[in-house]
Chain A
Amino acid sequence: MKVKVITRILEANDRIAAENRKLFNKAGVYVINLMSAPGAGKTSLIERTITELHRKLRIGVIEGDIAGTGDAQRIEKLGIPVIQINTGSACHLDANMINEAIVDLPLKDLDLLIIENVGNLVCPAEFKVGEDMKVMILSITEGDDKPLKYPLMFQESSALILNKIDLLSYTNADLEKIKKDSLSLNPNLKIFEVSCKTGQGIAEWTEWLQSLVP
């Protein structure tokens, strides 16, 4: 017997993401889902953001990695509550992993929660985790062809951080092309040119981020 069952395949994930969102709203915490390829500078940006904002906002971090606790140790040194999720083999964080992790976080005592997704330009963009906003990093050394090769992440993100901008003159990357292609995919994308190494552009990013946190 054939039966019609019209359901979005990711409905289960979206349902749990909505539950997470409710918990975040109730606790009054603003949540960003930070995504990029491996090595683009997610953890470095989080360190810079914490250093800049920890006197103004109470910040917590969830670290997603396939294996290892190195990233969480880096954040812990800054005296910030952090939970490490090891996904084993999964290439992204999903809503259920976040749902289980937040039990161990003092949500009520936080203003801003930064979720560092698994390093990957593809899958994390597909899975909502209950965030207020998705933010992606593209490092200049990855090349200027990435927006058109991995369009979904650029379309889903509210902000694009162009990291390692201090290395621009050492590469063949065309900064204007990156910006133009990114904006053609997503005209509302907010773009920041930063260097987590030198600190260039970090203040603009953190001021903007702080303005979003209620």
Chain B
Amino acid sequence: MAQQLDYEPKLVALLCRWCSYAGADLAGTSRKKYPANIGIIRVPCSGRVDPLFVFKALRMGFDGVLVSGCHPGDCHYQTGNYRARRRMVITKRFLEYMGIDPRRIQASWVSASEGSKFAEVTSEITHELKEIGPNELFSDNGKGTRTEITK
């Protein structure tokens, strides 16, 4: 496990354009520290997130996926985050049944004013992912599929 000490997980964050993306922006402008392990993808709404995106990220070798959107009731499109909530609940439970550690699939509500919450959430998740270790789900030789990301 000596290698794991310097292991840095890679995390994809699918952030809603109205709340969480602005929240991440605020975390930056207010000089909050959050891990550099995170790659942000902006989506129009958390309701836009197809479970396909989550699984594709895992397939590509990312260690975890975070889906984040506006708090319930605050959706810019009224109901998008309710749909996202239903989707994430079943996605997480189903992937657990398949044999994927449920901690690899994360979801959060972060509003545009919660820069510090965004920093907290991402550091917590990074910490958890370090505990689980690298994503070797799709590897045949035990090396993982990280090359696909760095290409």
Co-assembled chains A and B: no
Interface residues, chain B, with chain A CB atoms under 8 Å away: none
